[in-house]
Amino acid sequence: MEKRDELNERLTRVGSGTPMGNFFRRFWLPAAASTELTADGTPLRLRILGEDLVAFRDSQNRVGFLGAFCPHRGVPLFFGRNDDSGLRCAYHGIKFDVEGRCVDVPNVPQTSSLERIKERLCTKSYPSREAGGLVWIYMGPREAGTPELPDMPWVRLPADHVHVSRWLQRSNWLQGFEGEIDSSHLTFAHGIKSSEGKPYDVFMHDGAPSIEIRETATGFIQGARRNYRGQYYWRVGSWILPMWSIAAPFDPGRDLHGRAWVPIDDEHTITFAYRYQNQALTAETRESIEMGLGFPPRMRKAAFEFSDGAIIDTFLPTAAKENDYLLDRNLQREQKHSGIFGVNDEDRGLQENMRRHPGRKGTVDRSLENLLSSDVAIVAARRKLSQLVQDSQEGKAPRIQQTQSTLMGAAGILTPIGNFDELLGSFPELSGAPLV
Ligand code: FES
Ligand SMILES: [Fe+2]
C-alpha cells in the first residue's frame, strides 16, 4: 500500500524540484494555440508545472513566456501594455522583452546606475517555439541546449491542416492520461446501445479486449483486440513520452488524432487535442470537430480562478462538475451507457470525480485501487514512467529523441490476424514509422 502511495506521489507531483516535475521539464510542452496570441495583443495567463506565467506575442511576432509577476513589486504583468517589442507593467511602467530582459525603468532617474537596475530586474523567462498550430514552452535546463520538438507528423504540417484545442480538466494529469491508454473503458464509458450499422459497432460486441504492449524508445505501442463478427478488431495506439497519445480514429477513414495532458499543477491539467489531415481542413470539418461530440468538448474561453487566488486564461467545458456533466438519465436508459453528451465529457466527468487521495483536490487515491488484467497498459506506463523518472533523478536517463523513426502510429484494423506481432509486421506503418 505504502509503495503505491509512493508511486502516486512520485508521478503526480510536478512542481519545481519534484522528480516528475523535473522529468516533464526535459520536454517541450504545448502551452496554447498560436491563434490565442496576436502581435501586440492581450497577454495570456498560464500556469504550467505549478509555475504562474504570462505569455505574450511582441511586435515582431516573437512569443515570450515570463514569470507572471513583475519583479519590481509583484503586480501581474497580464495587466501591462504590450507594444513596441515588450510588455510594460501597468503599475510603474517597467518594461520587459520576450527574453525577460528589463528594457526600460521609467520611474527612476535615468542615471549611470540604470543599467545595474535593469539587470537586477531581469525576470524569469522560458524559450518558446511555434509548430503545428501550437506555441510550445521549454522549462528545463539549458546547458546542453534545448531538445527537439516531438516529431509527430502533424507538428510539421501547415497550421491549416491541423485542428488544435485545449481545455481545463480539474484533475491531476496522470488520471487523464491513464484514461487515454485504457482500452477496455471504450465499450462502457463511451458505449452506445444500438450500434448496428454504425462505425462504433466494432467496440460493442466484446467488452473484454485482449491487450498487448510493446515498449518503444518513446513510450509504447498498444494493441487491444476485440472479437468482431468472426474476425478481430484491433485498436492500436501509441504513447509518446511524457503524456501524448496517438489514437486510432473512431470511424474508419476519419482524421488521425490524439491528446496530451499538460499539468497546470498537482491538481489541474490542460488537455490538448490535435486532429489532422494531409490537406487543409474545411470550415465544415472544423465546425463538426467543435460540436463537442469528441475532442474538444463544448466549451468557452474564460478566466479560471484557483483556490489560491491565481487566475489563468483557459477554455472551460460546458459540461462540468457543477452541473453533473449534463447527465441525461433518459439518454442513459435508452441510448448511451453514460448518458453524457460528448466523449471528453464522459472521460472528464469520471476522472475529475475519482476518489480523492486524502489532502489532494484532484488526485485519485491509487492505494485503494484493485487493478485487473485489463489495466495492463496503465501498469506498464506507471512502471516505465517511474523508472525513467528515477533514472533521470540519478542523472542516468538518456536524452529522449522523439524523432520520426522512434515514433509509432495508430489505426483501427479489422482482420483475421490474431497475433499482435504478426499484425505489426503486416502493417509496417504501425511500427518504426509514423502513420500518415
Ligand atoms: S510593480 Fe511592476 S513596475 Fe512596479
Ligand atoms: Fe475515454
Contact 116, 102 (CB under 8 A): no
Round to whole Å and give the CA distance between 384 and 364. 20
Question: What's the pLDDT band for 400 if we cut at 50, 70, 90?
Answer: confident
pLDDT at 435: 36
pLDDT over 60 at 79, yes or no: yes
Q: How far is the CA of 342 from the centre of ligand 2 (A)?
A: 10
Query: For residue 114, what is its C-alpha cell?
Result: 540604470
pLDDT over 80 at 255, yes or no: no
pLDDT at 324: 98
Contact 167, 317 (CB under 8 A): yes
pLDDT digits (tens, 9 = 90+) for 335-379: 999 999 999 999 999 999 999 999 999 999 999 999 999 999 999
To the nearest whole percent, how much of the chain has pLDDT over 70? 96
pLDDT over 60 at 432, yes or no: no
DSSP designation for 209: -
Determine which of 184-188, 225-229, 274-278, 372-376 has the lowest per-residue pLDDT on average: 274-278
Contact 167, 271 (CB under 8 A): yes
**Hey, what domains does the chain have and what are their CATH numbers?**
28-138 (2.102.10.10), 153-430 (3.90.380.10)
Q: Of all protein residues, whose CA lies closest to atom 1 belonging to ligand 1?
A: 73
61 backbone dihedrals φ, ψ, rounded to 5°: 75, 15
Round to whole Å and give the CA distance between 407 and 151. 8
Pairing of strands 311-317, 219-228: unpaired
Output the CA–CA distances (angstroms, integers) from residue 1 to 4, 173, 267, 368, 387, in the order listed.
Answer: 5, 21, 22, 8, 19
Q: What is the dihedral of CA 260, 245, 153, 241, to 10 degrees?
A: 80
Q: What is the pTM of this model?
A: 0.95
Nearest ligand 1 atom, CA 94: 3
Contact 260, 245 (CB under 8 A): yes
Mean pLDDT of 191-208: 90
Query: For residue 362, what is its C-alpha cell?
Result: 484532484
Round to whole Å and give the CA distance between 29 and 359. 28
pLDDT over 80 at 153, yes or no: yes
Adjacent-strand bridge partners of 268: 265
Round to whole Å and give the CA distance between 228 and 204. 9
Q: Which residues line ligand 1 (CB under 6 A)?
A: 70, 72-73, 75, 89, 91-92, 94
pLDDT over 50 at 49, yes or no: yes
Nearest ligand 1 atom, CA 77: 2
Q: How far is the CA of 386 from the centre of ligand 1 (A)?
A: 42
Q: How high is the mean pLDDT of the chain?
A: 93
Task: Please calculate the CA angle 184-189-190 and round it to the nearest 5 degrees.
Answer: 95
Q: How far is the CA of 409 from the centre of ligand 2 (A)?
A: 19
Output the CA–CA distances (angstroms, integers) from residue 412 to 56, 121, 159, 250, 383, in the order listed.
Answer: 40, 54, 26, 8, 26
pLDDT over 80 at 222, yes or no: yes
Q: Of all protein residues, whose CA lies closest to atom 4 belonging to ligand 1?
A: 92
Contact 319, 340 (CB under 8 A): yes
Q: How far is the CA of 353 from the centre of ligand 2 (A)?
A: 15
The position carrying cell 507572471 is 68
